[in-house]
Amino acid sequence: MRPGRRRLLVGGAALAAVALLRPGERGAPHDAYFAALARSLRAAGLAQQPTLVLDLARLRANAALVQRHVAGRLQLRLVNKSLPCLALLDAVAAATGTQRQMVFNLPYLELTSRARPQCELLLGKPLPVAAAAQYLRQRPASGFEPARQLQWLVDTPARLQQYRELARAQRQPMRVNLEIDVGLHRGGVADPATLRTMLQLIAEEPLLQWSGFMGYDAHTEKLPDLPGWRPYAREQVLVRYREAVDELRRSPLAARLADATLNTGGSPTFRLHDGSGAANEVAVGSAMVKPLDFDTPLLADFRCAAFIATPVLKVAEFRPPVGVEFVGTLARAWDPNQRRQAHIHGGHWLAEPVSPAGLAASALIGPSSNQQILLGSGRQALEPDSLVFFRPTQSEAVLQQFGDIAVWDGERGIVDTWTPFPAAG
């Protein structure tokens, strides 16, 4: 083969390879679902600022899936911090028939026990004894009875001794749920000897009542999906929980097992439990609204029920700032999905743009909480005052960033607004 022809073929192959690497043009206007959602927000006067909108039908459908799984097999406890709104928790509680909630901080413990005195509450993490003392000194006059309706989570013998001294100082009976390590290694009782010590201490103190165990297992679905890894971790959760219950049966507190709360699971893992193991209760929160981080095989039939809607302020050809204009020229030439830029109202949330399709944050400009830039091909047909929808990556904290939550019914439009909890750590 002649050298010139060889160079021509090599050059042609190189150009073809480059063409294959070049991103294809993406994007489309809102589909029917998001177009209807946008119309409803406009009709309700909620299209002028970032708004959290909740799809009521999808919420109820997700709650029905949870209820179908636990019915007759397990008790259900709602994760308060993942559904941080009294009306939202009320809706899910009504749909699932539970008054059990898991709370994670002093402000939400105070709020929930004051506003919903019928609830039975379990702490989802051990609180400093000073926080427990503050609650007991200022407990609400709502009819909520901490000695009967509240379980304090305790993770170590040292903290258990602190709670014993608090119970004595307050002359207040305290129900104690022991955190056990079922493989996550985030704290909790990890060995039989420590568990025996703690159970004996509880048995010897009239003001302390053992109320159950809590063993969180979210790690099993975070492991790399390599052969055998997840199945082994899942099996170890069951084994370790069973060993803790067996230890309890050999203790002076064995008679209390009949009424114990044996909590496990969470939104990523509750479907791994069917009541055949030692645990008798699962905790679920985020799955009810299914943020992006919960797109997992175990939740494949759940649907996202919460979105952030925000208006577009400006639309133009993508032009980076002075000094790097040439980068914009190259980017537009190489990637058709960087031809247009839209400046939105707000941004830099724990969320990803979901509609119109084909939008992405500018990696060159970076995030902004004021006017984030989204890039697209132009197929989205955005203009000032158009709405862009984001899907939260998590519900915790995000649902509280936008003021009242707009509640949407696909047939009737925006039917209500729900006030979320104030932000708290």
CATH of the domain at 209: 3.20.20.10
On the question of pLDDT at 318 being above 90, the answer is: no
How sure is the predictor about 18, in pLDDT bands with cuts at 50, 70 and 90? very low
Give CA 105 to chain center in angstroms.
16
Domain check: are 244 and 184 in the same one? yes
Q: What are the C-alpha distances in Å from 276 to residues 74, 272, 381? A: 9, 10, 53
Domain check: are 237 and 371 in the same one? no
Tens digit of pLDDT for each residue in 90-135?
999 999 999 999 999 999 999 999 999 999 999 999 999 999 999 9
Domain check: are 253 and 333 in the same one? no
Domain check: are 338 and 195 in the same one? no
Domain check: are 254 and 317 in the same one? no
In a domain, 292, yes or no: no
In a domain, 298, yes or no: no
Tens digit of pLDDT for each residue in 163-218?
999 999 999 999 999 999 999 999 999 999 999 999 999 999 999 999 999 999 99
Domain check: are 269 and 311 in the same one? no
Q: Cα-flanking dihedrals φ and ψ of residue 29, to 5°?
A: -65, 175
CA distance 137 to 264: 30
CA distance 327 to 374: 16
**Tokens of residue 292, six digits:** 């992006």
What value does the mean pLDDT of the chain take? 94
Q: What is the pLDDT, as a whole number, of residue 219?
A: 96
Q: What is the pLDDT, as a whole number, of residue 24?
A: 81
Q: What is the pLDDT, as a whole number, of residue 15?
A: 42
CA distance 158 to 221: 31
Domain check: are 258 and 154 in the same one? yes
Domain check: are 260 and 182 in the same one? yes
How sure is the predictor about 20, in pLDDT bands with cuts at 50, 70 and 90? low
Q: What is the mean pLDDT of residues 288-309?
A: 98
Quick check: helix, strand or coil at residue 205? coil
Q: Which of 135-149, 292-306, 327-341 has the lowest mean pLDDT?
A: 327-341
Q: Cα-flanking dihedrals φ and ψ of residue 44, to 5°?
A: -90, 0
Quick check: helix, strand or coil at residue 381? coil
Percent of the chain with pLDDT over 70: 94
Q: What is the pLDDT, as a whole number, of residue 17?
A: 46
In a domain, 115, yes or no: yes
Please list, in sequence order, all residues whose beta carbon lies within 8 angstroms of the beta carbon of residue 78, skipping any fewer than 6 positions away: 89, 92, 93, 96, 98, 100, 101, 102, 283, 284, 285
Q: How many domains does the chain have?
A: 2
Give the residue numbers spanning the domain of 154: 105-279
CA distance 318 to 337: 10
Decide: 124 and 78 in contact? Cβ < 8 Å: no
Task: Name the residue with higher pLDDT: 311 or 327.
Answer: 311
Tens digit of pLDDT for each residue in 350-399?
999 999 999 999 888 889 999 999 999 989 999 999 999 999 999 999 99
CA distance 277 to 275: 6
What burial letters (b/e) apply to 124-142, b meaning 16+ CB within 10 Å? bbbbebeebbebbeebbee
Q: Which of 296-305, 339-348, 358-367, 378-387 has the lowest mean pLDDT?
A: 358-367
